[in-house]
């Protein structure tokens, strides 16, 4: 079986594709894969190590742009379609899996021009512009959650759950041992998505000493803020400096999520799958970019009791929310249980089965 993967923009769109590929390979069936997407936000680095050749395909976001920027974006999208056409003709896949993000659109259009079966996966509650467009081209659409069904064509949409990486299958005890954390140590994980989130970063730094007095703070800042994070760490008292662990990016994020007591995060595509997989209570600060779909993701988890939603306009109150939850074991335990009940543990396997069935048609 040959499968083309199309995604781009954020890790929340790329990791589901890689998790599904892992589930396909786990069956023992020979699978040859190739990744098609942009290479301007670290996509190639995320794909490396998964035995997937990477083909760079130009792409550009089209939402909310000036007339000149829109024209440039359309021209870049057209170039991406032409580039993907050449790559797909060489590779000759049996099926393409698109997991959304603006980077998935040119390869998806190329796939349908070549009359290749196209499975589109929606990782969010609310489809973004790319998935809305691709849903018209798709052979089949797979949704992460039932809440997305009213916004998708019923005749070709199924619920697969969110495919998560195998690393989320480790136990809390094993993860803590591997990370060198004590069994009873309080741990706060702050992760503002692949590129970081400056509003969250600043709110954490303003309260850093008080947070470190209450918990070990593991902070994924994004590359642009790594220097400032190190300066904030150096300014801490000697007794607290070792309790703050900033990094621009962490490959072991699944282990961190499984082992942490509480997370502060955006509410991007990955949260619907990874917070339930880790059973991790969270304070979600949804971004207002890309159509504001993060707010729907955050609301979906909050309605199930798994998260607290904090609007970015209220970010000054973040410290109080963190300390309240770190001091309330009973509430966190209830949120963790709710998070675990919100997901589909077999999302990768279900989406892999869908791909095999579509490819065989």
- Segments forming the whole domain that contains residue 68: 2-162+345-359
For residues 98 and 142, membership in a common domain is answered with: yes
Judged against a pLDDT cut of 60, whether residue 290 lies above it is answered with no
- Selection from 222, 260, 249 nearest residue 339 by Cα: 260
For residues 241 and 176, membership in a common domain is answered with: yes
Q: Name which residue leads in pLDDT, 66 or 164.
A: 164
pLDDT in tens, 294-339: 999 999 999 999 999 999 999 999 999 999 999 999 999 999 999 9
- Selection from 45, 103, 100 nearest residue 251 by Cα: 45
For residues 215 and 154, membership in a common domain is answered with: no
Report the side by side order of strands in the sheet with 2-6: 54-56, 32-37, 2-6, 95-98, 118-122, 140-143, 157-159
For residues 157 and 209, membership in a common domain is answered with: no
pLDDT cut 70: percent of the chain above it: 96
Alpha helices, DSSP H only, in the chain?
A: 11-26, 43-47, 67-91, 105-113, 129-137, 172-179, 198-206, 208-214, 226-235, 238-241, 253-259, 271-278, 293-303, 318-326, 329-342, 347-359
pLDDT in tens, 80-102: 999 999 999 999 999 999 998 88
Task: Report pLDDT for 65.
Answer: 67
For residues 152 and 173, membership in a common domain is answered with: no
Task: Report pLDDT for 51.
Answer: 87
For residues 226 and 256, membership in a common domain is answered with: yes
pLDDT in tens, 114-141: 999 999 999 999 998 889 999 999 999 9
For residues 18 and 150, membership in a common domain is answered with: yes
Tally the domains of the chain.
2
pLDDT in tens, 182-225: 999 999 999 986 555 889 999 999 999 999 999 999 999 988 89
For residues 307 and 331, membership in a common domain is answered with: yes
Cβ burial of 304 (10 Å; 0-12, 13-18, 19+) is middle
pLDDT cut 90: percent of the chain above it: 77
Instruction: For residue 80, give every residue at least 6 positions away whose Cβ sits within 8 Å of its Cβ, in sequence order, or none.
Output: 38, 57, 58, 59, 105, 106, 107
For residues 230 and 241, membership in a common domain is answered with: yes
For residues 155 and 286, membership in a common domain is answered with: no
Residue 20 sits in a domain whose CATH number is: 3.40.50.2000
pTM above 0.75, yes or no: yes
For residues 135 and 180, membership in a common domain is answered with: no
- Selection from 181, 285, 199, 189 nearest residue 246 by Cα: 189
Judged against a pLDDT cut of 70, whether residue 38 lies above it is answered with yes
Helix (H) or strand (E) holding 237: none
For residues 312 and 172, membership in a common domain is answered with: yes
Residue 190 to residue 33: CA distance in whole angstroms: 33
């Amino acid at each position: 079986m040959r499968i083309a993967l199309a995604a781009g923009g954020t890790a929340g769109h790329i990791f589901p594709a890689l998790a599904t590929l892992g589930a396909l390979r786990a069956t023992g069936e020979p699978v040859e894969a190739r990744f098609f997407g942009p290479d301007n936000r670290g996509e190639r680095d995320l794909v490396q190590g998964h035995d997937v050749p990477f083909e760079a395909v130009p792409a550009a976001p089209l939402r909310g742009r000036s007339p000149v920027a829109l024209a440039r974006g359309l021209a870049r999208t057209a170039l991406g379609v032409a580039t993907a056409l050449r790559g797909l003709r060489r590779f000759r896949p049996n099926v393409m899996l698109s997991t959304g993000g603006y980077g998935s659109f040119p390869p998806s259009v190329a796939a349908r021009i070549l009359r290749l079966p196209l499975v589109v996966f929606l990782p969010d509650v609310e489809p973004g512009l790319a998935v809305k467009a691709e849903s018209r081209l798709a052979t089949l659409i797979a949704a992460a959650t039932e809440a997305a069904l009213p916004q998708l064509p019923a005749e070709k949409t199924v619920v697969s759950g969110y495919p998560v990486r195998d690393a989320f299958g480790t136990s809390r005890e094993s993860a803590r041992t591997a990370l060198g954390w004590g069994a009873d140590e309080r741990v706060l994980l702050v992760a503002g998505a692949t590129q970081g989130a400056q509003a969250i970063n600043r709110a954490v730094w303003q309260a850093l000493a008080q947070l470190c007095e209450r918990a070990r703070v593991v902070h994924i800042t994004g590359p642009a803020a790594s220097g400032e994070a190190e300066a904030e760490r150096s300014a801490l008292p000697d007794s607290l400096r070792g309790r703050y662990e900033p990094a621009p990016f962490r490959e072991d994020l699944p282990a961190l999520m499984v082992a942490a007591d509480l997370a502060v995060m955006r509410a991007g595509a990955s949260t619907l799958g990874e917070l339930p997989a880790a059973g991790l209570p969270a304070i979600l600060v949804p971004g207002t970019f890309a159509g504001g779909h993060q707010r729907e993701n955050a609301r979906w988890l909050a309605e199930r009791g798994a998260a607290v939603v904090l609007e970015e306009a209220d970010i000054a109150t973040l410290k109080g929310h963190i300390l309240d939850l770190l001091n309330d074991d009973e509430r966190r335990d209830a949120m963790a249980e709710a998070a675990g009940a919100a997901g589909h543990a077999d999302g990768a396997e279900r989406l892999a089965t869908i791909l095999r069935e579509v490819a065989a048609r």
